[in-house]
Amino acid sequence: MPEPFSILLKPFAILFRSSVQVRNTLFERKIFKGWKSPVPVVSIGNISAGGTGKTPLVDWVVKYYLSIGCKPAIVSRGYRRESKGVQLVSDGQRVLISSSQSGDETAMLAWNNPDAIVVVGEKRKEAVSFLTQYFAKRLPAVIILDDAFQHRQIARDLDIALVNASEPVLKAKMIPEGRMREPLKNIARADIILLNKIGKDDREKTDLILKKLEKTGRPIVKARIKTGELVCVSGDFIPTEIPSPKELRVLAFAGIAFPESFLESLQSEGVHVVSRHFFRDHEPYTQKRLQALRNEAAEKGLSLITTEKDYFRMLGRPELLSIITALPCYYLKIETDIFEGKETLHEMLRAVVGKK
């Protein structure tokens, strides 16, 4: 952020930091108390505004619980959705509403985990209450609160907080001057910390962050983002065999917090990115904008490629999806790769549901 704007926003950042600290103090002194859910709760969140790899971790945790025979439910705010109030996204058997009504990340989690119950609601206590009443005869084994580190109105049995190792969190500033929702020291209230997006060339920066996090005394899990399957979504162009990423010449576009990480994933797979267009995180796509992208790709003889989250955002808008799928179009799945501390996380997740 340019220095003049940073100076203008600093008073608001100081005010925001003060309000956050006052609120946290009220919870710590038990003046504010978290409501206890009748179903065990795992919270997954972060202290910065997006870009930590939270959604892939939620997906990882959901799949882990399913692998040990536990039915999970996901409760999310449903960021930037068009609906209001509590909405049942999936009943654990089928997806019931579109991504425009549930939010792109929530829709992605529901479609990728058809056995999981998914509910959205601005007031997550109301969403949890609805869930436990609606599914009273077949309660889930665990509720996963998505993006809930700051949402302390609901007590949790396990609090997982993510830190992005590729972000300068040691010098990061508070919203709106920067991207921090809370000071880094507040991560000490988590039960376990996941340091994510650790890169091969970031050892020095990662070590500095680790030293800071180790002072909390909390277990630290180390993870990175790895690329997954390349998925073709074009109705008229679905090949009998998906081409090798190295064979693709593409126009890449995305509306996520750190589009550079998407670009790095494509390049690591050998995709030849000829053109790129990045937009703000969760920025709504328009027909005019997508038509311009498609026209450019057609003129240059390129395929289109985007993120999985962006694809699911457009899935709720068929008029948008039809524009990009008129050409060969793909999205690249990404996954959480935990390479240190996995068993510690497994043990803590099992403890929540009483499994050894």
Range of the domain at 280: 226-336
What tens digit of pLDDT does each residue of 26-81 get?
Answer: 999 999 999 999 999 999 999 998 778 999 999 999 999 999 999 999 999 998 89
In terms of pTM, does the model score above 0.95?
no
Whether residues 131 and 235 share a domain: the answer is no
Query: What's residue 240's pLDDT?
Result: 47
Whether residues 211 and 63 share a domain: the answer is yes
CATH of the domain at 31: 3.40.50.300
Mean pLDDT, the chain, rounded, equals: 92
Whether residues 134 and 20 share a domain: the answer is yes
Query: What's residue 166's pLDDT?
Result: 87
Length of the chain: 356
Cβ–Cβ under 8 Å, residues 121 and 85? yes
Total domains in the chain come to 2
Query: What's residue 330's pLDDT?
Result: 94
Whether residues 186 and 98 share a domain: the answer is yes
Whether residues 101 and 243 share a domain: the answer is no
Whether residues 215 and 344 share a domain: the answer is yes
C-alpha span between 71 and 25 (Å, rounded)? 35
The Cβ of residue 292 has, within 10 Å, a number of other Cβ atoms equal to 13
Whether residues 243 and 331 share a domain: the answer is yes
Whether residues 218 and 245 share a domain: the answer is no
**Token representation of residue 246:** 């190295």
Whether residues 212 and 268 share a domain: the answer is no
Distant-in-sequence, close-in-space partners of 155: CB < 8 Å, separation ≥ 6: 33, 34, 35, 36, 37, 41
Whether residues 23 and 74 share a domain: the answer is yes
**Token representation of residue 353:** 């549901």
Spans in the chain with pLDDT lower than 70? 1-5, 235-241, 356
Cβ–Cβ under 8 Å, residues 308 and 193? no
Query: What's residue 236's pLDDT?
Result: 54
Query: What's residue 284's pLDDT?
Result: 84
Whether residues 238 and 342 share a domain: the answer is no
Query: What's residue 79's pLDDT?
Result: 86
Whether residues 177 and 272 share a domain: the answer is no
Map residue 278 onto helix, strand or coil. strand
